A and B are shown apart, each in its own frame.
Chain A
Amino acid sequence: MGGAHGMVAQLARFAGALRSCGVRVGLSDEIDAAAALTLVDLLDRAEVHRALRIAFKLPRDAWETFDKLFAEYWDGRRAPEHPALRQTQPRDRRGPAQWRWDGERVRLAVPDEPQEPQGEQPGYSSEAVLRRKPFDQFSESELAAMERLLARLARKLATRRSRRRVPAVARGIVDLRRSFRRALASDGDFLRLARRARPLDQASLVVLYDTSGSMDAYTRVLLAFAFALRRVMKRVEIFAFNTTLIRVTRMIAPAGIPQSLSRLAAGVPDWSGGTRIGRCLTEFVALYKQTLIDRNTTVVCVSDGLDHGDTELLESSMRALHERAGRIIWLNPLLGDSRYRPEAAGMRAALPFVDHFGSAHNLKALEGLLRFVP
């Protein structure tokens, strides 16, 4: 390692590798890690491992990545270039880009000529006939209408009263501290009492997105829905799933939406592949139920319920979500077709736990959603 300098350089490379694998490690964490290394026995591999995990502040779900990289970087078995670094290159598998950043917001650009589907058609071709694509024919004015609608939806979601109390006029409990300070101005007489009341609190929203092939037509426009929500609500978490579950919230930073989109395309593997809803939801429940879901959370699941996997898994994870979440809304684009019956096994398993089952194939359907959000 070559002295203290070599150690710091090695640490920086290691932190960089962690970052490229999606583990959030900041400069301050690196400084902490360097400080921790001065305090432990550097010859004791297990102790260095423990100290770094503590100083880098790694949550439980990042341990696996950490352990793997630790073995590579600190045991001298480092590969010349880490595969994860290559993976961060954008790989656009979505065909011609449909999203345009117009300087203010992301818009869905409608191609002049209808695009022929390219490459292999995703699975479930027998259902293909059901996939009319009204969202594909969006005009500028319709997009603007959708954004207005989303703003309304978001405001409606923000209805819970907080338990904290903030200064209020003429209602709420008496705030002695501020009353007292006011009284000082009038020689100790309480002419007017100050009060505190509970402000409105923002509800939180978790959006689970199916990005599989059978949902391809809807995915992009419904992601716009999620973007808009993220702009107006503070606590929105967005996950994409198909065969694996990806937390995409942090990939779509409000500051740089054009970059977000390419990052999204790169970060979600198997875009337009098949689905394993049950497995992905089970993973979601295991990793995030505790931290992201509570009574004030509305879970919105956007999927057609066409599952390659095990419906038992889907059922048990839906039950777990139902117990903890305030409300579960399932949006199924296929529901827009009058010939559709929710007979897919996955859909049937999930339905008993869904508070509102709605379609999401066009604006009118999304508008109907407002009725179910108090």
Chain B
Amino acid sequence: MNEEIRSMQAAMERLGYIAEPAIATAVYLAKEMQKPLLVEGDAGVGKTEIAKVLARMLSTDLVRLQCYEGLDTQTALYEWNYQRQLLRLKIAEREARDPAKLEELIFGREYLLERPLLRAITRREGPAVLLIDEIDRADEGFEAFLLEVLSDFQITIPELGTIRAEHVPLVVLTSNRSREIGDALRRRCLYLYVEHPGFEKELRILQNKVPGVNEQLARTITRFVQRLRARELRKLPGVAETLDWAQALVRLHRDALDAETVSATLGCLLKDEHDIKATGGEAVDELLAYASAQE
């Protein structure tokens, strides 16, 4: 394995993110090739966390753009501070100043409200990490616009001119696959698909994030969740759910799992009525028997 990828993996781990080689490789390639990284996978597998850890690892700012349907350039890029401009105009009326100078003044940088995309490319102290979260929720029109920003890293504001990136930010896009991402955007990025973690990885994450849980319980919890994911469920529990559940068990001062505790706390893992009903008494018994068995 490439030395730098290995050290990348180790650095992520030091910051509490257990990264598989695939994740470390993707992050390394994105950084070296200066390409955005598109991360897809089920909810709760730690997609957003990649960007957060990356920002901490490079000790830089994390600029986050949360996407939603109807997101427009005014929220994503920049907006003029109209109120302030208007106020300035009203004051200027009394001063009777040169209109050209006045216009130059009110369309200056201090009347510009920077939104995430602009903020990410204008960071002076080195490249920022730009997280564009849940890109699948924004509409196709926004995706096309993003394409332009991500290829040139420059933004044209008609009144101000073109603003070029001081440093090209490291871009991480995440998607829950609620909509297929357009080919053009996908092409522009490197692509990483994150799967639910295997037993060893999940166990390490659990011990890392929930220190209060004892070794035996951590193993049982992990085996239980791994087995649960193999069942026919509508919404599979992610790592986030495993951690919630472990935390709940620690709060309840449980050292071991029993059927009653599991049934009472199943809501931490399963967030769908149908799934909870389908995981009734017998299923819990079967899962528990499997989870408690020694490997």
* Chain A residues, CB < 8 A from B85: 180
Q: Is A256 an interface residue (CB 8 A)?
A: no
Interface of A is mostly: helix
Q: B191 contacts A46, CB within 8 Å?
A: no
Which of B29, B86, B93 has the largest count of A CB atoms less than 10 A from its CB? B29
Q: Is A93 an interface residue (CB 8 A)?
A: no
Cα distance A47–B21 when bound, in Å?
Answer: 8
Cα distance A29–B25 when bound, in Å?
Answer: 17
Cα distance A24–B177 when bound, in Å?
Answer: 18
Cα distance A46–B25 when bound, in Å?
Answer: 11
Binds A, one of B30-38, B56-64, B216-224: B30-38
* Chain A residues, CB < 8 A from B22: 50, 53-54
User: In the complex, which residues 72-86 of chain B have their Cβ closer than 8 Å to any Cβ of chain A?
Assistant: 72, 74, 79-80, 82, 85-86
Which of A44, A188, A294 has the largest count of B CB atoms less than 10 A from its CB? A188
Binds A, one of B117-125, B179-187, B287-295: B179-187
Cα distance A291–B93 when bound, in Å?
Answer: 55
Q: How far is the CB of B223 from chain A (nearest CB, A)?
A: 25
Cα distance A51–B38 when bound, in Å?
Answer: 14
Cα distance A81–B221 when bound, in Å?
Answer: 49
* Chain B residues, CB < 8 A from A164: 69-70, 72, 139, 141
Q: Is A176 an interface residue (CB 8 A)?
A: yes
Cα distance A176–B81 when bound, in Å?
Answer: 10
Q: How far is the CB of A310 from chain B (nearest CB, A)?
A: 14
Q: B178 contacts A24, CB within 8 Å?
A: no
Q: Is A96 an interface residue (CB 8 A)?
A: no
Partner of A188, one of B32, B70, B93, B193: B93
Number of interface residues of B (CB under 8 A): 43
A244-273 CB mask vs B (1 if < 8 Å, else 0) is 000000000000000000000000000000
Q: Is A67 an interface residue (CB 8 A)?
A: no
Q: B178 contacts A60, CB within 8 Å?
A: no
Q: B72 contacts A55, CB within 8 Å?
A: no
Q: A47 contacts B1, CB within 8 Å?
A: yes
Q: Is A292 an interface residue (CB 8 A)?
A: yes
Q: Is B89 an interface residue (CB 8 A)?
A: yes
* Chain A residues, CB < 8 A from B187: 26, 28-29, 57
Q: Is B269 an interface residue (CB 8 A)?
A: no
B146-182 CB mask vs A (1 if < 8 Å, else 0) is 0000000000000000000000000000001111100
Q: Is B258 an interface residue (CB 8 A)?
A: no
28 contacts between A and B (CB under 8 A): A28-B187, A32-B33, A39-B2, A39-B29, A41-B1, A41-B2, A47-B21, A51-B25, A51-B29, A54-B192, A55-B29, A57-B187, A57-B189, A57-B190, A60-B40, A163-B70, A163-B139, A164-B72, A165-B70, A177-B79, A177-B82, A180-B80, A188-B89, A188-B90, A290-B177, A291-B178, A294-B178, A294-B179
